[in-house]
């Protein structure tokens, strides 16, 4: 048998002699699949060659894992479990049942593919360290500290008596039991991402707690393992301590400065050079080589420490993650998970001895104590019962990191095959059950329960208006400021602008939400948001007493940014969220860029926002009203139109438009489209429309225009004729509302999130002629 892995064999009972048989010369490349069918070569079988068999096995593993996932994902089970099931299906016990074991896969091929999987787990652990901001340990809150420490210390204390029982001449339970109560941050992060609650209140608390528990878990594993080695061989323990301390010193004195030098040599806003990336990869490969020579048991911990030496975020950390993440998580890591499960030699429970049942009891006790300790502490803090149980379950999850420990322990013969089988079962059970239970227990929308309705139509004209304005790119800044200026804030009717700068999470694991009003400024996020903060502070200075500015920065994955927006709107009791459109244009009207992630974000906010939402489509012609009192020229006027058909969204849009006429520098025109088929019937919607239109028809500050139209074609013709007269047109979204005024137009709609009229105004035919604000009244969640 060809032995591709496990150079340092330490069997549990005594020594063992292994004979390795190798075919020379090795058969690597075949003559092709067609050669076998053509019969051109005697006794030729293409699967007898290494390369085609490896390719066939990798394709088989990926296909089977995807087949499992297509079924299990309906129950909320992550793909990681499907990859384990694929490995179990390809293990020798299963293949021997169908009598194709030797024809499809042999132990040497498992070891060879497993070596490829080792690349995946090595880079995964390394990248986990790269993504981690070690300074976050000191910044987590008091609750996270208590939960993180208790989740490790409580089960540790409970397991100490049982873990001291010797394990049949092999290593004591002190080596295995830490894996029962350890909490790995990468596993928690993957679970929260899978459940899409990374940015929720529970998700943020779980992340902070996992950071503390992660470092404490590694510390206890290191301490207990050194204690075990010192018990059996004090000189070896001293030697091991020297190795670890030497490694840490090298990382701090040599590796970390080298990484910082690469980051400093990269020009601001530029990507790291390929040479810098190659240097990092070379350091990683050298470490893996030396780790096997000295003490391979601490490979996982060493890779994590090495990753922590890399500065997180741009330019170096982000470049490493972007360069290798897809390849590692999409190819090499699934191979590692599948081949780890393929190592099983027996799937029955009859071979479990007393030691295995003893460890089953220890694992169950650890899970029960950890769950109880975390849940009771959270209930003591008056957390909702379901949320407390969900967080306690999250802290009990086992995943890829624990599986790596189990696999390396099995390869190094620290644990028996039966023990490895049991450990794999623990990963399968927790990895399958915990996501399902957490999804049942925790509902992120619960925070909106009992939230008061925040509609503009219900706000008093003189009341303070809370607005959340979202910024993605620099061009969004001037657009938002110009719109806020047109909204005409006054001392009698002030506005509070909560500016949220949204930044894509890149090269780091922890989402960040920073308030720039706090005394302790976050320099990292302030540098990114400096232009945003200064621009809006200047706007606040120009409208002193009428506009207040609160600046925030959120760094999170794009598909979870809506949580940051909705949570801020909820906390600030905002009545309106302003979102930039996903398309931007040059000043000549040509398309500049289109970001599909921004569009998906807008759709999520429209669906979940706890207040009204406005999508701003800026073509660059939105002028800020002149603030000097001595300027009265017509050129300083801002011409704004509001297209009114009727309904909740139109009433919300008209209410916002009416706030603008407080400034004599804004000239508002309300264009009312009435259906020719209207027979004068009065219903509740008609009454509400009449109420919001009251005072508009005879107002000296508002120009009111009424158009009777038969169908959507007449509406389009009128819009075409007036669009060039205005810098800004405000419309209601009117999503899925049918009316004669917009008949036959829905089928031509390109962006449903804008509604029919909003989509018409954003179309290429009218593009560049005016800016558009599409408003949606708060939905009843």
pLDDT over 80 (residue 636): no
How high is the pLDDT of residue 635?
52
pLDDT at residue 289, rounded to an integer = 63
> What is each CA distance from 573 to 466, 606, 690, in whole angstroms?
7, 17, 28
Q: What is the DSSP secondary structure assignment for residue 452, as one 8-state letter?
A: P
Q: Are 498 and 552 in contact (CB under 8 A)?
A: yes
CA distance 310 to 131: 9
Cα 420 from Cα 416, distance rounded (Å): 6
Q: How far is CA 699 from CA 325, 665, 668, in A?
A: 61, 16, 11
Instruction: Give the pLDDT mean for 384-411.
Output: 88
Q: What is the β-pairing status of strands 702-709 and 666-675?
A: parallel
**pLDDT by residue (tens digit) across 572-582?**
889 999 999 98
Dihedral class, residue 293 (left if φ above 0, else alpha if ψ from -120 to 50, else beta): alpha
Question: Would you give the distance in Å from CA 766 to the centre of its chain?
Answer: 37
The predicted-structure confidence for 427-468, as pLDDT tens digits, reads as follows: 999 999 999 999 999 988 777 655 566 778 877 777 888 999
What integer is the mean pLDDT of 594-617?
A: 91
pLDDT of residue 741: 85
User: Residue 346's pLDDT is what?
Assistant: 73
CA 188 – CA 184 distance, rounded (Å): 7
Query: What pLDDT is attached to residue 634?
Result: 46
Q: Lowest-pLDDT range, 179-193, 515-529, 663-677?
A: 515-529
Q: pLDDT tens for residues 520-559? A: 555 455 556 788 889 999 998 888 888 999 999 998 888 8
Integer CA distances (angstroms), 340 to 4, 110, 369, 400, in order: 14, 9, 29, 11
Is the predicted pLDDT of residue 351 greater than 70, yes or no? no
Read off the pLDDT of each residue in 255-276 and give the average, rounded to a whole number. Answer: 80
Within 13 Å and on the Cβ side, how many CA atoms surround 32? 6
Residue 169 pLDDT greater than 50, yes or no: no
pLDDT interval class at 188 (50, 70, 90): very high
Residue 626 pLDDT exceeds 60:
no
Q: For 103-115, b where at least 16 C-beta lie within 10 A, e where not — what string? A: ebbebbbbbbbbe
- Longest CA–CA span in the chain (Å) reads 101
Distance, in Å, from the CA atom of 495 to the CA atom of 465, rounded to the nearest integer, reads 5
Predicted local distance difference test score (pLDDT) of residue 14: 41
Other beta carbons within 10 Å of 573: 14
Least reliable range by pLDDT among 55-69, 337-351, 563-577, 714-728: 337-351
The yes-or-no verdict on residue 629 having pLDDT over 70 is no
* CA gap 501, 554 in Å, rounded: 6
Cα–Cα distances (Å) from 272 to 46, 283, 702, 758, in that order, read 43, 16, 56, 42
Do the Cβ atoms of 657 and 642 come closer than 8 Å? yes
- Give the DSSP H or E segment for 703: strand 702-709
The pLDDT score that the predictor gives to residue 171 is 44
User: Which residues are within 8 A (CB) of 306 and not within 5 positions of it... i.e. 6 or more apart?
Assistant: 126, 129, 251, 255, 283, 284, 287
Q: Which of 36 and 687 is assigned the larger pLDDT?
A: 687
Least-confidence region, from 40-49, 447-456, 464-473, 658-667: 40-49
pLDDT of residue 168: 45
Number of H helices, E strands in the chain: 30, 13
DSSP 584-625: EE-TTS-EEEE-HHHHHHHHHHHHH-SSEEEEEE--S--PPP
| Segment among 35-49, 482-496, 574-588 with least mean pLDDT | 35-49
d(CA 377, CA 138): 21
**728 strand-pairing partners:** 640, 771
pLDDT value at residue 176: 65
pLDDT for res 15 = 42
Which one has a higher pLDDT value, 586 or 154?
Answer: 154
Rounded distance between C-alpha atoms, residue 242 and residue 236, angstroms: 10
Query: How far apart are the C-alpha atoms of 200 and 252, rounded to whole Å?
Result: 35
Higher pLDDT, 236 or 413: 236
């Amino acid at each position: 048998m060809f032995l591709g892995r496990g150079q340092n064999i330490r069997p549990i009972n005594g020594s063992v002699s292994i004979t390795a048989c190798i075919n020379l010369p090795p058969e690597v490349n075949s003559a092709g699949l067609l050669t076998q069918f053509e019969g051109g070569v005697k006794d030729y079988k293409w699967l007898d060659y290494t390369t085609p068999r490896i390719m066939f096995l990798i394709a088989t593993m990926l296909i089977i894992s995807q087949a499992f996932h297509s079924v299990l994902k309906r129950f909320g089970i992550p793909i990681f479990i499907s990859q384990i099931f694929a490995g179990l299906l390809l293990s020798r016990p299963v293949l021997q049942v169908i009598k194709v074991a030797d024809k499809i896969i042999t132990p040497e091929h498992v070891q060879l593919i497993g070596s490829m999987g080792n690349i995946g787990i090595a880079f995964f652990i390394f990248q986990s360290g790269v993504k981690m901001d070690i300074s976050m340990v000191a910044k987590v809150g008091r609750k996270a500290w208590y939960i993180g420490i208790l989740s490790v210390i409580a089960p540790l204390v409970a397991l100490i008596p049982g873990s001291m029982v010797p394990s049949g001449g092999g290593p004591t339970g002190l080596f295995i039991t830490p894996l029962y109560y350890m909490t790995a941050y990468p596993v928690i992060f993957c679970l929260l991402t899978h459940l899409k609650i990374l940015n929720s209140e529970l998700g943020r608390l779980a992340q902070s707690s996992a950071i503390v528990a992660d470092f404490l878990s590694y510390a206890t594993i290191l301490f207990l393992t050194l204690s075990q080695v010192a018990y059996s061989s004090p000189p070896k323990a001293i030697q091991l301590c020297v190795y670890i301390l030497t490694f840490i010193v090298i990382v701090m004195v040599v590796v970390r400065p080298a990484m910082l030098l690469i980051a400093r040599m990269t020009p601001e806003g530029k990507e790291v050079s390929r040479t810098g990336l190659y240097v990092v990869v070379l350091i990683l490969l050298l470490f893996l080589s030396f780790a096997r020579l000295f003490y391979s048991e601490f490979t996982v911990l060493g890779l994590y420490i090495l990753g922590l030496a890399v500065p997180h975020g741009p330019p170096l950390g982000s470049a490493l993650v972007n360069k290798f993440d897809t390849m590692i998580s999409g190819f090499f890591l699934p191979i590692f998970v599948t081949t780890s499960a393929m190592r099983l030699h027996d799937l029955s429970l009859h071979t479990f001895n007393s030691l295995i049942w003893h460890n089953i009891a220890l694992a169950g006790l650890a899970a029960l104590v950890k769950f109880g300790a975390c849940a009771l502490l959270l209930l003591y803090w008056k957390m909702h019962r379901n949320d407390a149980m969900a967080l306690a379950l999250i802290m009990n999850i086992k995943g890829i990191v624990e599986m790596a420990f189990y696999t390396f322990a099995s390869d190094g013969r620290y644990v028996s095959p039966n023990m490895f089988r049991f450990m794999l079962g623990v990963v399968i059970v927790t990895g399958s059950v915990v996501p399902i239970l957490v999804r049942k227990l925790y509902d992120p929308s619960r925070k909106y329960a009992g939230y008061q309705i925040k509609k503009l139509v219900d706000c008093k004209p003189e009341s303070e208006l809370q607005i959340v304005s979202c910024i993605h790119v620099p061009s969004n800044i001037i657009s938002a400021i110009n719109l806020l200026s047109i909204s005409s804030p006054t001392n009698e009717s002030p506005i509070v602008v909560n500016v949220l700068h949204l930044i894509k999470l890149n090269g780091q694991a922890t989402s960040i939400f920073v308030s720039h009003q706090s005394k302790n400024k976050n320099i990292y996020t302030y540098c990114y948001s400096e232009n945003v903060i200064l621009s809006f502070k200047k706007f606040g200075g120009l409208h002193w007493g009428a506009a207040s500015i609160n600046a925030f920065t959120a760094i999170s994955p794009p598909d979870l940014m809506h949580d940051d927006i909705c949570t801020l709107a909820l906390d600030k009791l905002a009545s309106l969220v302003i979102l930039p459109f996903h398309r931007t244009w040059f000043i000549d009207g040509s398309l500049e860029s289109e970001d599909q992630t921004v569009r998906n974000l807008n759709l999520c906010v429209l669906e979940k926002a706890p207040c009204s939402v406005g999508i701003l489509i800026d073509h660059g012609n939105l002028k800020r009203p002149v603030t000097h009192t001595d300027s009265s020229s017509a050129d300083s006027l801002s011409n704004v139109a509001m297209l009114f058909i009727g309904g909740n969204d139109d009433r919300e849009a008209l209410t916002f438009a009416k706030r603008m006429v407080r400034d004599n520098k804004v000239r508002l025109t309300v264009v009312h489209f009435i259906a020719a088929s209207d027979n004068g019937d009065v219903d509740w919607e008609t009454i509400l429309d009449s109420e919001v239109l009251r005072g508009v028809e005879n107002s000296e500050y508002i120009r009111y225009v009424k158009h009777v139209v038969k169908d959507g074609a007449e509406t389009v013709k009128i819009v075409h004729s007036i669009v060039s007269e205005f810098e800004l047109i405000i419309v209601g979204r009117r999503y899925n509302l049918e009316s004669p005024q917009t008949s036959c137009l829905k089928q031509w709609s390109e962006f449903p999130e804008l509604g029919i009229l909003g989509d018409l105004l954003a179309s290429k035919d009218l593009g560049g002629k005016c800016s558009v604000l599409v408003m949606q009244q708060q939905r009843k969640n």
